[in-house]
Amino acid sequence: MAESNPQTFLDPGFRAEVDKRSGTPVSACFHCIKCTNGCPISYAMDIVPNRLMRMIQLGLRHRVLSSSTIWICASCETCTTRCPNDIDVARVMDSLRQMSLKAGTVAEPQIPMFHEAFLAVVKSTGRVHELEMLVRYKLKSGNLLSDVRLGWEMFKRGRLKLIPDNIARLHEVRRIFEEEERNSGA
């Protein structure tokens, strides 16, 4: 088996795995390119959405799961709305992100770090508290000194509050997180 180069290795089970996880049939894609033509950030992707779908069909597991595209995708769902085959491309992207995290092939590690920081703050305060989120993200990424001037300007203009606002039913937000963590086995 020519498994030596993960970039070109064809995994015949990959498409079925993506179908199952995303609940959408990638095999139905016939490459009309409507998803890519409507995607507002395809210009920044290393593999545009319709090509990514083709790679999934071919079984190019490593290339797909190590692409920047799956992290750059903003989950705007324009592609899903435009697909004439009812393929939920945005959901496929989300499933690929989960698979990439599990496989340890994340091409843009700062994006899941930011996502984690965001969720941790919502769990702790019930809403977004920008200052805490930035501190968590900076500590996790080790990128402590970038954007200091921007942060100071935001603070001076009152855009970064020192103390988070209280929400009425914080316990309910935490319960949702705990339930989700139990379901995902976290």
Residues in contact with ligand SF4 by CB under 6 A are 29-35, 38-39, 41, 49-50, 53, 73-79, 82-83, 85, 87, 89-90, 93
> Which is nearer to ligand SF4, 107 or 134 (by Cβ)?
107
> Which is nearer to ligand SF4, 31 or 175 (by Cβ)?
31
| Cβ at position 54, least distance to ligand SF4 in Å | 8
Nearest to 50 by CA among 25, 68, 32: 32
> Which is nearer to ligand SF4, 57 or 105 (by Cβ)?
57
| Cβ at position 66, least distance to ligand SF4 in Å | 17
| Cβ at position 55, least distance to ligand SF4 in Å | 12
| Cβ at position 107, least distance to ligand SF4 in Å | 15
| Sequential DSSP letters for 60-102 | -HHHHHT-SHHHH-----HHHHH-TT---HHHHHHHHHHHHHH
> Which is nearer to ligand SF4, 54 or 140 (by Cβ)?
54
CB 22 within 8 A of CB 95: yes
Q: Beta-carbon neighbour count of residue 5 at 10 Å?
A: 8
Rounded Cα gap, residues 21 and 92, in angstroms? 8
